[in-house]
Structure 1
Amino acid sequence: MLTLFNRLCSWLMFIGGFSVVAMMLNVVADVVAKLVWNAPIQGTVEMSSYYYMVALVMLPMAFVEMQDQQISVDLLFNHFPNWLKKLALIFSCLAAAAILAIMAWRTGLDAMRALHVGEVVMGGREVIVWPSRMVLPLGFGLASLAALVRAVLVLRGQPVTQSELDEGMS
């Protein structure tokens, strides 16, 4: 089950990375169309803001959490005894899981509202944005699940990150 979850996280990371490429191609095409034909691609800013950037930020969240690659300050943590490190990791993972679950719930309510009203934004042209609202609860929810999985792994004394797995093999 853990392998399946890790594979899902990796695929979402890939899709998030693909959104960078898609955004780059869209923006370059927009600039070229504007400079060469004086006809920019309508909705490029809205697509970048509501689709590409949302996918770039939200989809890799679970992968980042599972790999313990989020920004952290461990100035004091490195000086803790092992039992306190384990306790602090469990507490921080559970706190992160709770906060991320609340964010998933709240953005899920917003996503359902956007779906019901058929949310659009007006820019160079009308862009349907309600589908992009669904990505937020997905990203937060999977990141919450990843934090919970990490807490269980720490509690069991199992390796949590790839680097810990590699250290155990050497």
Structure 2
Amino acid sequence: MFIGGVGVIAMMLNIVADVVAKLVWNAPIQGTVEMSSYYYMVALVMLPMAFVEMQDQQISVDLLFNHFPVWLQRAALFFSCLAACAILAVMAWRTGLDAVRALRVGEVVMGGREVIVWPSRMVLPLGFGLASFAAFLRAVLVLRGLPVTQSELEGGHL
């Protein structure tokens, strides 16, 4: 979560410096759009995913879930955590293959200037992998009967 926050600050400083350089010296910083798109935004989205999963802050629809008996709520939560773990693991594996390919070819994008983007491709499997691990930990917590939802963490019951 902290590294994602650093990405926000870095993006803000880069964009402010670009605007100031353009207005004061009529010389914008080349590659600002590419850096924002391929580095800052990727870090901002991918790195906090595990934190969001562990804090039960992801988007969820619980229209029926709240009306289930407690044992069914826990079973549904366990299986949804396992499904999330599996889906996120597949996404980590697939984006990992893409990251290796980008590393091999030395992937770059052309914009105001050439920007090396293969390092940013490594962030996707990292983010998905950590989120998968967080979903697995939540499934283990459900099995052990420990609090895993925001309402449980706040002292409520399932």
Does the TM-score normalized on the shorter chain lie above 0.5? yes
Which amino acid in the other structure matches residue 30 of structure 2? Q
Misfit runs of 4+, over 4 Å: none
- TM-score, with structure 2 as normaliser: 0.95
TM-score by length of 1: 0.88
For 1:121, the aligned partner's letter is V
Residues 83-122 of structure 1: pairs in structure 2 closer than 5 A: 83-122=71-110
Tell me how large the CA RMSD over aligned residues is: 1.3
Quote the residue 1:145 is aligned against: 133
Look up the SS of the partner of 2:60 in the other structure: coil
Deviation at 1:17, TM superposition (A): 1.1
Aligned with 2:40 (options 35, 52, 77): 52
Q: What's the CA shift for 1:164?
A: 3.1
Corresponding residue SS for 1:167 = coil
Structure 1: segments with no counterpart, 5+ residues: 1-12
For residues 129 and 150 of structure 1, what CA distance do their matches in structure 2 show?
33
Q: Distance in 2 between the 1:89 and 1:43 partners?
A: 44
In structure 1, C-alpha distance between the alignment counterparts of 2:87 and 2:150, rounded to whole Å: 25
Q: Deviations over 1:1-54 (max 9, x none)?
A: xxxxxxxxxxxx011011111101111110111111110000000000000000
One-letter amino acid of the structure 2 residue matched with residue 103 of structure 1: M
Corresponding residue for 1:3? Answer: none
CA distance in 2 between counterparts of 1:132 and 1:67 reads 25
Which digits, 9 at most, give the CA deviation of each residue in 1:125-145, with x for residues without a partner?
A: 111100000000000001001
1:126 aligns with 2:111: no
CA distance in 1: counterparts of 2:151 and 2:87, whole angstroms: 26
For residue 95 of structure 1, give the secondary structure of its aligned residue in structure 2.
helix
* Contact 2:31–2:115 (Cα < 8 Å) also in 1: yes
Measured against aligned partners, the alpha-carbon deviations of 1:124-169 in whole angstroms (never above 9, x if no partner) come to 011110000000000000100100110010011012257634528x
Q: Equivalent residue of 1:121, what SS?
A: strand
Between structures 1 and 2, the one with greater helix share: 1
